[in-house]
Amino acid sequence: MTSPKLPLIALLCTLPLAACAATPEALKPYPTAAEGYQRHVIDLPPQANEAGHKVEIIAGKTLEVDCNHQRLGGQWQEKTVQGWGYTYYELGQVGPAVSTLMACPDDSRKQAFVHVGGEPQLVRYNSKLPLVIYAPADMEVRYRIWSAAQDATPAPRQ
């Protein structure tokens, strides 16, 4: 006679791998977040051609802004889990918001997500490991998936 728990276990195991990937066991090699930092974990779904994808990590926070272009200062670092070789990403201290200095209409103030500026943080797509990010606790971490076209365009010879 089978246990009534077996169908439930079978059902849970059929859920997408992404739902189960960030188990405490999978995160065991990664360091805990330092004081004042938060660990963010992104589980990526498997793709047919993962080499044709990248993940853009975007950190920022919602601030009151005007019509000027705003961004926060900060520096991303790629680090490796010692003894495991797994990569994780850390955002250092985030500086104050900087903006262009244009005159704005009085009614232009609004709440908006202001991201850490500089070059986009594009990282390798790998659904087999969690994407682990450490950022200051007051920062929000978002991400976008970038996909390459199936065919490469030949460059003209000159």
Query: pLDDT for 7-45, tens place per residue?
Result: 433 333 333 333 444 688 889 999 999 999 999 999 999
CA atoms within 13 A on the CB side of 36: 6
Query: Other C-beta atoms within 10 Å of 40: how many?
Result: 21
Residue 119 binned pLDDT confidence (cut-offs 50, 70, 90): confident
Q: Tell me, what's the pLDDT at 17?
A: 36
In three-state secondary structure terms, 3 is coil
* CA–CA distance, 53 with 118 (Å, rounded to integer): 21
Q: Are strands 76-80 and 87-91 parallel, antiparallel or unpaired?
A: antiparallel
* CA–CA distance, 5 with 11 (Å, rounded to integer): 10
Helix (H) and strand (E) counts in the chain: 3, 10
Q: Tell me, what's the pLDDT at 11?
A: 36
Higher confidence at residue 103 or residue 2? 103
Which domains are seen in the chain, by residue range? 36-147 (2.60.40.550)
Contact 90, 79 (CB under 8 A): yes
* CA–CA distance, 44 with 127 (Å, rounded to integer): 5
Report angle CA 138, 143, 149 to the nearest 5 degrees: 165
Contact 86, 79 (CB under 8 A): no
